[in-house]
Structure 1
């Protein structure tokens, strides 16, 4: 009876290759792998030809799926190679780490993590977080600046098998006995459980037991203390019921610098080291050239040869057996990139990270909702990819409409697989553009969402109904109804309409009424594209607009400045929404309410000014009426601050009114020029904010008009009271604020804005 300990680095291609050779030589009759015992039944899927790494074991608490742990594996992960060997050759295999049933029970409030964040690297990340990296000392002694590069050259680029693991065991024994601090309690419990797993395998009569574990644990498993001492460490551990499944993973996630991901800064490069161990450099540099050519950048065959020779030369100068990633990157920078960072970023994303996404067979046990999502993705031919891809949809085509509905339903469930982007160059009525990128964490969100229903439609409907029941404001409900209609969830519409009617009838806040209109108007205007029945929404909109028109003239009386500023934004959006609906009855009521607000001197001047602006733009006020209102609000009989607020509301967003209307220009210009110095100083920040919001060409035109005839105010100054040198220092600043004309003015002339 013999126990063979194989200390490995998770996601190490050299360790994986050496382990595969060692297992072939040893022919073990039992394999124990560091991992969650709850997933023992899932190991058999490693032999399924339809499972394609990178993949991850997902272990979670069914009652609270956000309490979950990922165990990711790539093809070059030693544990994956051990599982493959065992399942193909019929060797008994199981996981031997401390069960997550105990570990997650102690982390009831912890968010979902993966063993990339809770596992260990060659020196065990848990220990590294508590103590300084014990391998860093060895790396420095060997002339390396970091542990990862040292480990790659020492281990991952080697091709031997049993001798490698003997050397790792000797090194880690030295580390644990002479360099590293003692392991913490959790590590002691994990190692106690592993030793008990070895004892169980021996008790079962296995003669050649192979144990695959993190290199840091090898010394602790080589010397067996008494079973009683180990059991004492494990006594009284809490426990929780768990479930497990396989889920796709990505190389991008493997690149996370922690735990199982530690040191995997370039999984794309590791993939080459695994696939082409003897000529990884040549294959990788060839891929660099292909990538650059694909993006119309220079990359010849001669450049590949030159880069290979340069990398080999750098490795020889550094007394290394073969080029590593550092040498290759330096060669690429010198030969292909001409010392430019832009191609390097492209190479980093495409070849160092190489965001490959794994695949999991349909036979893997999972919940109904994830199964339905997979089935719809397959039916609609929506491939799941980790990297970003564009999807353009024409909603007049039934298949495209189905894809849009699926993406909207998943978004409602919190699975933002697709993010809608603004359409340019095409009508927004029939076209949608999406940016797709699948994240491994979506597996957890689908498990969480399974409580709402076993299909995408049922789950999205259930969640929408729940949100409608909990919502207490009109904007929440109207935003939700837009999501529901885009997701085509007819069973949720009736409840939402009822809730909107109930909450709307009890809502006294005019701001909430106005904020609720834009999503409803959008649905009414574009709902025909999706075949949506908007008759019920039309009734809701009629009621909301009517109540808003009644409440608005009274709701803006005596309002403070901050609420008024927020209400102006809601009023602008509501105005666009009501005009989008294009119903004469609603428009007449709306413009009538705006007229009441603009004509009441007790209305907040900011809101009153915006109402006057809308009425003027839409032709409900002629130029004479607008000029009269402007003259009244900007007269010296009004408080300067009130006039400034009214002017801000009137002019906000565009200077076209001032530029193209001489009478309005004269009124504003004369009002500003007539302010006394104290009032001007008080209003200056507000005026600066108003005029500063204009576009640069508009500001320049205003400056030019201010400097033209009729727009210049000349102040007489005696020679003794004017310091021309100091006055000229101000001109460049005025030029930046008002335009180039100020910079060319004489000190004796000051232009009005």
Structure 2
């Protein structure tokens, strides 16, 4: 049942997460009746072990150990109900036996020197891969599942595992330095237990380490290895964990591929195959898919037949997956992906008791989550908030404050405030276990969410060197309703804005300030001081705008185009008629100035048209000038792109502009046309399908041109010449133009 490095010492080598290993450990402990249980884990968390017996502790959970000075240096020790270590803990606590962790303390492992060494060490190869291939399996996951995890009788299993791992280690080369330190400390802890007089010692460790704990080794050698190790102060706590974070894809080194399946094997030891197939059917029915009882029976039969064909002693997840794909999913892999995510990996967040040690910030956050009826969950959920309701406003306030603390529990969906009004916010919320570390890090700024967020904002404002950074911070502070920090940020904005001469930076800083004023009424924030800054910024922007739009290359022009569009949207949002008039006058200066990049001249004209400040009669001459033969084709194409970006209506309903575009394209030489075709296509690429169809229809059925040109009738067209033109127009517009004209 065990291997003994000394009288009364029993080493149980396990896989860290596996129902068969867990079942074997329980059976072995019942037979051994040990006086003490030693477990591979962090001794730094020994004081937290009794909490694992409380009723409020519901796996999956994890021990979080972090360095007090640098909380980002942290490590997790996850436990599922089917983890052998968890079952060993429950066995010991249920019988009031001493239970201890014996791995190398994280106080030594979380120091910078140890972290650097660990990072430099190459990852350990899969030690069981060779044994798995020899047994006819493609990978060690399936082999171990068949050999251990689906096993009901644990007799002789630990001896077999020890023998196999001993052979693997003998051909595996030298042990990495960090692993040698860990094993030396485990041996020291075993010796200490024997010195304390314990007669029957049970040791639960990873199978890889078992041979090192069985073989005799002089204590002085281990003491020499462990002497003088650097150390740092650490703290530990229990946190909720998720099954998907036990999976390989999460990056957790001791993960398993299908923790949901392993939980099923642990909780449903009788008839696991048929109950699993029934769960798949239930899931599919919940998604509106057909899954009859007859299909469940057929799935089980097919899985059993596959296991027999493959020489398996029992049906495994691979056979069930293949059978479900063929029968329940009818060969469609899409539902099978849902089965993988919901069942094989599994969902759900564990729970820890309320009296678990935690930093004050974590306790305040938990209280807010409870009062706002917004519990953390591992499922991604959409929260549609109406800020006129106090509960929703409180939820919004909390999510915004957490984002300022770099705790992204919630992510704002596409900004729908302009479309739905100022009282709506949509958030996508999902709690990830790693956010517990972020909470610890943020606790350095305060003991409550509000005080920590306020301190964080003030610190960032003091560090900010760019005006746009400050205005974005001001907007975020408004949304988070941090009244204590808003005045501080405003002071920094006022100071930096008066010293900044960088017009593009002023343009980037302007929209967040306008949004702050526009939505300030929702958050009951005074807007007069912000308006004063806005007016001062706008005055300086309007003066410096022409100079900021000349002598630009292609990339710089596109960047300025984005800033110009954002600034215009902010001006419209501001709803100040006097300022809008000033803005329109500044845009007209760009339109009339030949030194301004064509993209920006076209965009400025487009914005003035949208404001209703350009007469139709004036649009034609401006277009003919910008698209005249004297203008370099690249410049003309850039102007056209700036003009039409946004909507095709400008072209569709203004004949003079249409005629100017037609004349420009018709006047290009073949070589120039081919050269400029990508630019022209880019100008039209943002149009919707309906807009492109409308333009194509106009091309097929031309209206009467403006300015004395004769009306063009379709029966006047030469079909052969039309046939040569249509493919080119199709290429430009992205729609087919091969229909018969008429």
Fold shared by both chains (TM-score > 0.5): yes
Q: 1:396 to 1:437 in 2, by over 3 A?
A: same
Q: Deviations over 1:604-638 (max 9, x none)?
A: 33222222222222122212233332233333444
Does the aligned pair in 2 maintain the 1:386–1:437 contact within 8 Å?
yes
Deviates more, 1:586-595 or 1:57-66: 586-595
Deviates more, 1:143-152 or 1:546-555: 546-555
For residues 738 and 422 of structure 1, the distance between their equivalents in structure 2, rounded to whole angstroms, comes to: 29
Task: Tell me the secondary structure at the aligned position of residue 49 of structure 2.
Answer: helix
Check if 1:303 corresponds to 2:295.
yes
Does the aligned pair in 2 maintain the 1:410–1:417 contact within 8 Å?
yes
Does the aligned pair in 1 maintain the 2:684–2:733 contact within 8 Å?
no
Cα deviation for residue 676 of structure 1 reads: 5.1
Does the aligned pair in 1 maintain the 2:364–2:448 contact within 8 Å?
yes
Check if 1:275 corresponds to 2:267.
yes
Cα deviation for residue 130 of structure 1 reads: 4.1
For residues 595 and 393 of structure 1, the distance between their equivalents in structure 2, rounded to whole angstroms, comes to: 41
Task: Tell me the secondary structure at the aligned position of residue 100 of structure 2.
Answer: strand
Cα deviation for residue 48 of structure 1 reads: 1.0
Q: 1:642 to 1:304 in 2, by over 3 A?
A: closer
Equivalent of residue 41 in structure 2, options 29, 35, 39: 35
Paired position in structure 1 for 2:592? 599
Does the aligned pair in 2 maintain the 1:648–1:690 contact within 8 Å?
yes
Q: Deviations over 1:502-546 (max 9, x none)?
A: 111122222222222222222222222222222222222122222
Paired position in structure 1 for 2:192? 200
Paired position in structure 2 for 1:59? 65
Q: 1:626 to 1:49 in 2, by over 3 A?
A: same
Paired position in structure 2 for 1:674? 667
For residues 628 and 146 of structure 2, the distance between their equivalents in structure 1, rounded to whole angstroms, comes to: 82
Check if 1:73 corresponds to 2:79.
yes
Q: 1:152 to 1:742 in 2, by over 3 A?
A: closer
Does the aligned pair in 1 maintain the 2:684–2:732 contact within 8 Å?
no
Task: Tell me the secondary structure at the aligned position of residue 72 of structure 2.
Answer: strand
Paired position in structure 1 for 2:235? 243
For residues 86 and 472 of structure 2, the distance between their equivalents in structure 1, rounded to whole angstroms, comes to: 46
Check if 1:181 corresponds to 2:173.
yes
Cα deviation for residue 106 of structure 1 reads: 4.5
5 Å-filtered alignment, 1:560-599, equals 560-599=553-592
For residues 300 and 108 of structure 1, the distance between their equivalents in structure 2, rounded to whole angstroms, comes to: 56
Paired position in structure 2 for 1:221? 213
Q: 1:403 to 1:547 in 2, by over 3 A?
A: same
Check if 1:457 corresponds to 2:467.
no
For residues 376 and 20 of structure 1, the distance between their equivalents in structure 2, rounded to whole angstroms, comes to: 40
Cα deviation for residue 198 of structure 1 reads: 0.8
For residues 735 and 384 of structure 2, the distance between their equivalents in structure 1, rounded to whole angstroms, comes to: 45
Check if 1:737 corresponds to 2:732.
yes
Check if 1:539 corresponds to 2:532.
yes
After superposition, the CA RMSD in angstroms is 2.8
For residues 145 and 562 of structure 1, the distance between their equivalents in structure 2, rounded to whole angstroms, comes to: 51
Check if 1:447 corresponds to 2:448.
no
Does the aligned pair in 2 maintain the 1:7–1:213 contact within 8 Å?
yes
Does the aligned pair in 2 maintain the 1:423–1:431 contact within 8 Å?
no
Paired position in structure 1 for 2:50? 44
Task: Tell me the secondary structure at the aligned position of residue 71 of structure 2.
Answer: strand
Does the aligned pair in 2 maintain the 1:254–1:261 contact within 8 Å?
no
Q: 1:99 to 1:25 in 2, by over 3 A?
A: same
Cα deviation for residue 639 of structure 1 reads: 4.3
Q: 1:337 to 1:745 in 2, by over 3 A?
A: closer
Cα deviation for residue 595 of structure 1 reads: 2.0
For residues 671 and 625 of structure 2, the distance between their equivalents in structure 1, rounded to whole angstroms, comes to: 21
Deviates more, 1:318-327 or 1:33-42: 318-327
Paired position in structure 2 for 1:90? 96
Cα deviation for residue 441 of structure 1 reads: 0.8
Equivalent of residue 331 in structure 1, options 323, 341, 346: 323
Equivalent of residue 146 in structure 1, options 139, 154, 160: 139
Paired position in structure 1 for 2:604? 611
Does the aligned pair in 1 maintain the 2:637–2:679 contact within 8 Å?
yes
Q: Deviations over 1:204-244 (max 9, x none)?
A: 00011111111122222112211112212222322222111
Paired position in structure 1 for 2:682? 689
Paired position in structure 2 for 1:512? 505
For residues 106 and 155 of structure 1, the distance between their equivalents in structure 2, rounded to whole angstroms, comes to: 38
Unaligned runs of 5+ in 2: 1-6, 711-719
Task: Tell me the secondary structure at the aligned position of residue 64 of structure 1.
Answer: coil
Does the aligned pair in 2 maintain the 1:67–1:110 contact within 8 Å?
no
Q: 1:147 to 1:678 in 2, by over 3 A?
A: closer
Check if 1:522 corresponds to 2:515.
yes
Task: Tell me the secondary structure at the aligned position of residue 616 of structure 1.
Answer: helix
Q: Deviations over 1:592-613 (max 9, x none)?
A: 2112222333333322222222
Paired position in structure 2 for 1:717? none
Cα deviation for residue 685 of structure 1 reads: 3.9
For residues 81 and 432 of structure 2, the distance between their equivalents in structure 1, rounded to whole angstroms, comes to: 19
Paired position in structure 1 for 2:477? 484
Q: 1:70 to 1:605 in 2, by over 3 A?
A: same
Aligned pair count reads 721
Does the aligned pair in 2 maintain the 1:30–1:209 contact within 8 Å?
yes
For residues 642 and 229 of structure 2, the distance between their equivalents in structure 1, rounded to whole angstroms, comes to: 66
Does the aligned pair in 2 maintain the 1:10–1:260 contact within 8 Å?
no
Check if 1:16 corresponds to 2:16.
no
For residues 676 and 211 of structure 1, the distance between their equivalents in structure 2, rounded to whole angstroms, comes to: 85
For residues 193 and 563 of structure 1, the distance between their equivalents in structure 2, rounded to whole angstroms, comes to: 60
Q: 1:310 to 1:279 in 2, by over 3 A?
A: same
Cα deviation for residue 413 of structure 1 reads: 1.1
Paired position in structure 1 for 2:410? 418
Paired position in structure 1 for 2:369? 377
Q: 1:683 to 1:309 in 2, by over 3 A?
A: closer
For residues 260 and 433 of structure 1, the distance between their equivalents in structure 2, rounded to whole angstroms, comes to: 31
Paired position in structure 2 for 1:4? 10
For residues 494 and 252 of structure 2, the distance between their equivalents in structure 1, rounded to whole angstroms, comes to: 53
Does the aligned pair in 2 maintain the 1:658–1:664 contact within 8 Å?
yes
Cα deviation for residue 671 of structure 1 reads: 3.3
Deviates more, 1:75-84 or 1:613-622: 613-622
Q: 1:346 to 1:130 in 2, by over 3 A?
A: closer
